[in-house]
Each structure stands twice: as C-alpha cells, then as structure tokens.
Structure 1
Amino acid sequence: MTSGDTTSGEGLLESLEHMGAAERAEHDAEVSAAVAPGREIAVGQGETLLAVDALTVRFGGLTALDDVTFDVRRGEILGLIGPNGAGKTTCFNIMTGVYRPTSGDIRLEGRSLARMKRYRIIQAGVARTFQNIRLFGAMTALENVVVGTDARHRTSIPGALLRLPRHRREEREAVEKAMALLEFVGIAHRAADPATALPYGDQRRLEIARALATEPKLLCLDEPAAGFSAAEKDALSELILKIRDDGYTVALVEHDMRVVLGVTDRIVVLDFGRKIADGLPDEVRRDPAVVAAYLGGTVEDAEDQEP
C-alpha cells in the first residue's frame, strides 16, 4: 500500500470476496508459503543466524552494554533476560538500527548491521515489536499488516502512481498475505476494525502480524506479554511456539519467567550491561549468578519455579 492509497479496510476485504475461485485457490498456495517462509529452516537449526560480537554501547558516562557476545541460532527461540536496566532493549535497539554501537558488531548471516539504516535492516531480515505498542491507530488491522508487506515490494514509484499491472498484483497479494497473517495470529475477525478499537491483547497480536509481514529471518519480540493476564500469557506462549514451528527464528525479551522458561530453547542473561549466562533454560535457571541477579533468592528457590 502506497502512502497515497486511500483504499479502506472494507475495500481491501471486498477485493478478496470478489476473486474467482480458481484465482483464489492459486494465490492461497502462495500465501501459505509466505506465512511460513522457512519450514526448511528447521533442518539448519543450530547454525548461527545473527552474531553479537563484543558489543559495547555507551550513552555519555553510562555503559548500557559492555563487551557483550552471543549468537542467535537459526530456528530457535532465544530468550534475552535480565533485571530492569540490564541492557536488553538496548541490545534490541542496536540489532534493529535504532541505536548504533560504540564498538563491536552485529552480523546477520555474516553481514554487518551496525551502520545500516533501519529500513535496510528490515529488508535484510530483522523485524521487531516494541514494549509500547506502535500501530497506525486510524488504519484498520488489515491495513496495518499490509503496510508491513511494503518491505518486500519491488514496484517503482512511477509504477505505483500509474497503477501498472505489477503494482496491482503486489497490492492484491499483499491483501491476501495480510489476511493470512491475521488468521495466523488469531484476529482475522478484526480485519476491518481500526487498530485503536482492538482490545490490548489483539493489538499485541496485530503488531506481531505486521512484523511477520516483512518476511523476517529474525523476529525480535520486546516484552510481548507486558500487561497480559495469566490466560493471555498462555495463549501468547502458544503463538510464539507456533511462530517458531512455522520456520521463524525468534529473539525474545521478556520479564515473565514462566513465559520465558515455557517457550525458549536457549537463554542469554544480562546484568548491568554484561552477559552473565548463556545456556539451556534448565541450566540458566539454576545458575547461582542468575538466581542472585534476576530470579532472587537461592538456587533452591529457583528450582521450585515451574514453567
């Protein structure tokens, strides 16, 4: 959808309703592949997708990250945890181009992201959600997700202005893909509703759908369970596992340890900007340094916590 497009959410839905059966069947197959772009990725699980190498970030006299090194492996859910102020969101901000590192590097499939512009990082394959939901409030849920598909569009500006066949085809495919993603995250029935009219939990799901619309190699979720009830957290955990099982790689910043321990394949722990642990969930939850810095109490206390 271009910035000059005035098509309403209802109009976009009507374009789907009026498609012929044969045409719809043909594109349904394409949409299924687009929603789960990397089912074959599981074969390569364990290979490094993103490498954080000796990352240091300073803001004046404050060191937010201090020589942090870890990797995100293809096909996994990596949890990035730590107390408030540990540097988790700062790390996400470097990974997604919000900030630039003071020193060190971040590489996606060997390609440095450290000096890359934010839209280039999205095109390279890193998408994210935010602690504070950032949606286009006046746009429908469907339109919000369609915006995410723009990262993969190839139509030129003249082609969009003239509405050439390629542009019309990309618009139609974007609508189909957006509808498939809304169904994937469980809010297809809200497609025509303004984003601001959605309940808080559905807005979180909508933001995830929009991020998935960019076809990321790595999806970064920043505190997606914030403000959720216990039931909503359980449903979110199921969605995150579903995303991983559909071939995506996920990096998760989250304070709720029940969510973290329930979905992650591996956990990296930060404290005062330094990495203090990196391992399997059961290993990390029993690490004395982690218990002291994050979980509180003793190792015996941590063992009483079940995901």
Structure 2
Amino acid sequence: MSEPHIETPEELDRANERPVDEPAPSGSAPESRPTPEAAGDVLLEMDDVTLRFGGVVALDGVSFALRKGEIFGLIGPNGAGKTTCFNAMTGVYRPTSGAIRFQGQSIVGKKKHEITRSGIGRTFQNVRLFPEMTALENVMVGADAHFKTSVLGALFRLPRFWREEREGREKSLELLRFVGIEHRAGEVSRNLSYGEQRRLEIARALATNPTLLCLDEPAAGFNPAEKEDLLNLIRKIRDTGVTVLLIEHDMRLVMGVTDRIVVLEFGKKIAEGTPAEVRENPAVIAAYLGVPTDAA
C-alpha cells in the first residue's frame, strides 16, 4: 500500500476555502453515550473571540455558546468567517484575543491532537481521506486517537497493541455500518463515490469518540434525497449523545435540523436564535440578499 500524502496545516487551511459532500445513514449506532444529565448545560463557549491575519479581521469579537445535546447551526454568506471559526475551535488557528472554553476548560493554544482527544471531532469542506487506504483503515486512523500503545509496544506487537487493534477494527466496522457504507469497508477510499467519501469522513470523525462533532459544509453537491438522508444521519448522531455543530449553506437543511443558529457576516455575529427567529431577522435577510437592512 503506497504511503498516503499527509498535508501540511498550510495546505489544509487553503483547502478549507471550498466545500464538499456527505451521506446517508443505516445500520446500528456508534458507541452508545448517556443522555446529557443536564440538557442545556454549556459545552463550548466562544467568548469575544477576535482573529486577525495582518490587517484582515477574520473574526471580530464573536461570542456564542453551544449546549450539550443540541444541533447548532453556524451560517452566513461566503467569507463570513464560518470555517475560520471552526479552525479557531480545533487548534488550526490561535485567536488574537478572546477565550474558547470546552467543558469549562480553555483550549486556546492547545495542539490539534490534544483538542481531538479532549472530545472535539470535525470534518472539512474538502474531503480529507487517505486515498490509498481502505475505508476501514481510514476510520481506524480516527480510532487511533485514543490508543495508548507506546511506540515500542507497537514495534514489538505487545498484547496491548493487539487488543487495541482488535477493538479499533470492531469499532470502525460499527461506524461504517452506522453511516451506511459497511459493504465498502475493504475498498480503497479513492474508489468510493463522492457521497460515500463524505460518509466515510464522518465515520472517521466519530471514531475519535467526540463529545462535539463539527461538520463543515457536509451537504455541498448533494441532491434533495441525499440531503434528506444527511439530515436523518445528523439526527441519529445527536441521538447517540453527541452534540453537533453544523456549517451549511443549504438553508432548508439548516432550518430543518438545527435547534439554534448563529449568523456571521464579515467576521461579526449579526444574529442568534431559533431557526424561526433567524429566518425572520432583517439583518440576516439583508446579509443573504445583499441589500440594506431597512430595505430587507
């Protein structure tokens, strides 16, 4: 099997500037989680976060909070700062100022793998798979995030290595079944259809055992039936106890699946509320139509 190309953070950041695609559900659920004891408890907080690149302000004093067990939408026109917000949460960028707290603990300055281990998983606008690895192997890469085998243990194939390898394989097959592509487990990922690749990426993110799953443009390029399947899959994920943060341009999907929504424009938060409240907000209408607020 040829060595997969692992992209640099710079390549990854550039790739995040355009969208991708996603899946349909089926099969049994991933590792079961208890229902949040206090539904509505704050899981993640963005507190007055500003991010500058030279003279460009990508995020400008953004604040909002995600509650445990909800599906939360982050929307806005192109260039509004949505993916930048994801990147700040997941350690790709460090905020210029402000605080980001996950389960009450600051995650500003933590490395990406530390944030993943703390319980935040994500997908990307562009499919980020290892093309020469099988679907099963790709998901097992995600499961590796919590393995405790040392380098020497892996080198000498000690008992813990074999136990974790077996558990990782079983968990990965379960997740492939959950997203509906278990029958493609042995196929190299570059041979999968676009929608299957998006399902595979979600399965790999779930393999990191997240408390919060961030989905970046999962429905781009999908037809109406595929979007309906995606909507059902997002609900299934939430039903396992995973909180979902969703960036999406398809307003019908967003309004149909989210509990609350934050709207960004030019790096600033311009609205927050339920789907019904956001739909009727003049500032949101103006941002999407490109007209002055009073005209909207």
**Coarse TM-score class (shorter-chain normalised):** 0.7 to 0.9
- Say which SS state the counterpart of residue 40 (structure 1) adopts: coil
Indicate the SS of the match to 1:70: strand
1:294 CA displacement: 2.2
Q: Which residue identity is paired with 1:95?
A: M
Consecutive unaligned residues of structure 1, counting only runs of 5 or more, are 1-5, 7-31, 303-307
Give the greater-gyration-radius structure (CA): 1
Note if 1:240 corresponds to 2:240: no
The question of whether the paired residues in 1 share the 8 Å contact of 2:117 and 2:145 is answered with yes
Equivalent residue number for residue 261 of structure 2: 267
State whether residues 29 and 240 of structure 2, in contact with CA within 8 Å, keep that contact through their aligned partners in structure 1.
Answer: no
Q: TM-score, normalised by structure 2?
A: 0.87
- Aligned-residue sequence identity (percent) comes to 63
**Residue 40 of structure 1, CA deviation:** 2.0
* 1:38 CA displacement: 2.1
Query: Which residue of the partner structure matches residue 212 of structure 1?
Result: 206
Structure (1/2) with the larger helix percentage = 1
Q: What is the aligned partner in structure 2 of residue 39 from structure 1? A: 34
- Take 2:28 and 2:196, find their aligned partners in 1: how far apart are those partners? 24
TM-score w.r.t. structure 1 length? 0.84
1:133 to 124, 127, 131: 127
Bigger relative contact order (CA 8 A; separation at least 6): 2
1:114, CA displacement in angstroms? 1.1
1:295 positional shift? 5.7
Distance in structure 1 (CA, Å) of the matches to 2:183 and 2:137? 14
> Corresponding residue for 1:14?
none
Q: CA deviation at 1:169?
A: 0.6
Equivalent residue of 1:146, what SS? helix
1:107 equivalent in alignment to 2:101? yes
Greater displacement, 285-294 / 86-95:
285-294
> Structure 1, residues 206-229: CA drift from partner, whole Å, max 9, x if none?
000000000011100000001111
What RMSD over aligned residues (CA atoms) do the two structures have, in Å? Answer: 1.9
CA, structure 1 residues 295+165, in 2 after alignment: closer, same or farther (shift >3 Å)? farther
What is the correspondence of 1:1-307 to structure 2 with a 5 Å cutoff?
35-41=30-36, 43-294=37-288
Matches of 1:194 and 1:207, distance apart in 2:
13
The number of aligned residues is: 269
1:36 partner letter: E
The runs of 5 or more residues in structure 2 that have no matched partner are 2-26
Structure 2 CA distance for partners of 1:298 and 1:58, relative to 1, 3 Å: closer
In structure 2, C-alpha distance between the alignment counterparts of 1:93 and 1:261, rounded to whole Å: 24
Q: CA deviation at 1:34?
A: 8.8
Give me the whole-angstrom Cα distance separating, in 2, the residues matched to 1:33 and 1:83: 36
Structure 1 outlier segments of 4+, above 3 Å? 295-299
Taking the aligned partners of 2:130 and 2:39, their CA distance within structure 1 comes to: 35
